[in-house]
Amino acid sequence: MKFLECPSLDRLNDFFGDLNLGERTIRGCLEAYTCKHAGTDKKLSISLENEMLELIEKSSSPDSPPPDDMLLTRSSRRTLIYLILTLYHMYPDYDFSAVKAHQFFTEESWDSFKLIFDTYMFEASKEWDETVGDVSLLDTLYMALDEVVKLGDCEIYGYVPDSEADPLVEKGAIWSFNFLFYNRKLKRIVTFRFSCFSNLVADGFLMDGVLNEDDDEIFADMDI
């Protein structure tokens, strides 16, 4: 896989780099990759494919749970391999071989992603409107993603880290999301990870009694 330079994503990365919103800081990053194998990708793909086939074989035992749906067809296994390879290219010093299919969940549509974005990035969107003020943050994000991966043909996946050692675990974050936008036809993936951190904790203040109703709703919705 190969990293793609995308000016439309760079503009958003400049905004998301370290967005101080007073009591909170938002950090986000978008990266684009082609799905064409490069370097050790082919060897790693074969290894991942063999592991998946072994899991399917083991699941044939009466006492074993059924395999994840993403393992059942060659096409879905290839998609899973691309998603895992993308993680490897994001953090080449970490071994993602233990990542399981259930750690990826599929969003039904852009509207599903939009609901999450509108809920958690409300303050960031207001800051964008006040400092940039041309097109809304969500619309700018949509246009940038559409330019790179054609959202109408995309599958949208969320990734949930399953280990504290996983580099996508944002330690100390109030909330954190990892999304991958995959276009099969173009063989491209755009990753979008964004997190929120408390400046009160960073400054050494106690959080007791500070959380407001919006924060309570955030924690209540963390099973998304």
DSSP string of 93-121? Answer: TS--TT--GGGEEEESSHHHHHHHHHHHS
Q: How many CB atoms lie within 10 A of CB 8?
A: 16
- pLDDT for position 215: 53
What's the CATH number for 1-196? 3.40.1000.50
The answer to whether the CB of 193 falls within 8 A of the CB of 168 is: yes
pLDDT for residue 73 is more than 90: no
Query: In whole angstroms, what is the distance from residue 114 CA to residue 112 CA?
Result: 5
Residue 156 DSSP one-character state: E
Tokens of 52: 């998946």
| This prediction's pTM | 0.83
Handedness of CA 144, 215, 155, 90 (dihedral sign): positive
- pLDDT for position 109: 87
- pLDDT for position 202: 53
Residue in the block written with tokens 């074993």: 64
Q: How many CB atoms lie within 10 A of CB 146?
A: 16
